[in-house]
Homo-oligomer: A and B are copies of this chain.
Amino acid sequence: MQKVLEANDNLALDIRSLLREKRVSMVNLISGPGSGKTTILEKTIPLLKEKYSIGIIEGDIETDRDAQRLKLFSLPMVLINTHGACHLNSGSILNALEALPLDDLDIIFVENVGNLVCPAEFDIGEMAKVAVLSTPEGDDKPSKYPLLFRESALVLLNKIDLLSAVDFNLHNFYDDLKRLNGCVSVIEMAATKKIGLEQWVQWLETTIIAKEESKTGGKC
């Protein structure tokens, strides 16, 4: 396992150099199943695509369902089916990048496999990890899945419109999260209702796209 991670991390360094050279920013979206990653991309792309060239890497265990949903934007996109593996790794990302027109792109969104555990362990050379958590999943998730929330530069707290219908204590959530990661940002979002999208686009523009220097997320 240690060797697998080392090999992965070495390739991730190569990816980071390549993306810096090409001046492309890559964001790694990570969440459990059904938190709303694809929907967030569906709502985000229209707000960015006039101004920036966007590429997509779709990670899924099986099926092209998420890829099909994003296909209508006619953006450069690579689908990676992991066939059982619970995360993307830098090897598969490097292959995907070879199929994308890096010279023309400003930003690449990676939608990782729906999983709160494994994807956080694998550096894929991204500029930042963005965790998506939806309110029906419960406020205890940062404490129970600490690695992702420690590693992420931003948490999108999605399905905020369901807050009153589910058991989610915002105070406990912020408390636990800040204890794990003192410099993480949070945007409360309801992607289907277009709540929080403006802040998210602003975060992408100022923190990700405008940066010349690649960096890993979670550091202030």
A residues with CB within 8 A of B: 32-34, 60-63, 65-66, 84, 86, 113-118, 121, 134, 136-138, 140-141, 143-147, 159, 162, 165-167, 192
A121 surroundings in chain B (CB, below 8 A)? 84
Q: Whose C-beta in chain B lies nearest to the C-beta of A137? A: B34
**B32–A114 CB distance below 8 A:** yes
**B34–A136 CB distance below 8 A:** yes
**A147–B84 CB distance below 8 A:** yes
Q: How many copies does the complex hold?
A: 2
Q: Whose C-beta in chain B lies nearest to the C-beta of A35? A: B137
A162 surroundings in chain B (CB, below 8 A)? 136, 162, 165-166
Q: Whose C-beta in chain B lies nearest to the C-beta of A161? A: B165
How far apart sit A162 and B136, CA to CA, in the bound complex (Å)? 10
**B32–A141 CB distance below 8 A:** no
How far apart sit A61 and B121, CA to CA, in the bound complex (Å)? 13
A141 surroundings in chain B (CB, below 8 A)? 33-34
How far apart sit A60 and B145, CA to CA, in the bound complex (Å)? 9
A134 surroundings in chain B (CB, below 8 A)? 34, 136
CB-CB under 8 A for A63 and B165, given A115-B116, A117-B113: no
How far apart sit A184 and B208, CA to CA, in the bound complex (Å)? 45
A32 surroundings in chain B (CB, below 8 A)? 32-34, 114, 116
A144 surroundings in chain B (CB, below 8 A)? 33, 60-63, 65-66, 114
CB-CB under 8 A for A136 and B159, given A33-B141, A62-B143, A144-B33: yes
**Which one of B34, B140, B192 lies within 8 Å of A65 (CB-CB)?**
B140
